[in-house]
Amino acid sequence: MNGRPTSADKVVFACTHDSGRAQMAAAFFNLLADPVRATAFSAGVEPAERLHPEVVTAMKEVGVDLSAARPNLLTAEMMRGASLVVTMGCGEECPYVLGLRMEDWPIGDPAGQPLERVRAMRDDVGLMVAHLVSTRRWVRGHQDPLPRKAGELRRRGFSRRRARRPVASR
């Protein structure tokens, strides 16, 4: 045996409308993670009709095209097949599945925010996803390249923040 899992772990990124935060997180995750080890998708408890245009613009700036992405409905069934659910602002509205590992990331809603603020949210989400992928050893290849990946993210427009600024949430 080569030590690899027989099936990929599934990560669900969930937010209220699946029109911003969760979409960014799933896109970064699938960019950084080895698909043999783990894949991710996004969903929301009240899916919007489309992604926020400022999110699509901010992601395009770092080479990620979300123009064809569509919000999905989060269901308990969808969560049952996951090894991890990361929530971002859906709070009590998110379904809970007993025994499922869950994390909550305090990222504000990008709806109606200026592009500069959405860029900062994008950068925070990107770094949090890079840390998750690295610590769970889902990285592409055989190394654990958080410093390399973090450097790659910074070259693509990400920056590390020293102090967290409060983020307005809906």
Residues recognised as catalytic: 15, 90, 94
Among the listed residues 14, 12, 7, the one whose alpha carbon sits nearest the alpha carbon of residue 35: 7
130, 114 contact by CB (below 8 A): no
149 CB contacts (<8 Å, ≥6 apart)?
A: 32, 130, 133, 134, 139
Rounded-to-integer distance, Cα 85 and Cα 105, Å: 11
148, 139 contact by CB (below 8 A): no
Q: Residue 160, SS3?
A: coil
Q: What type of residue sits at position 131?
A: H
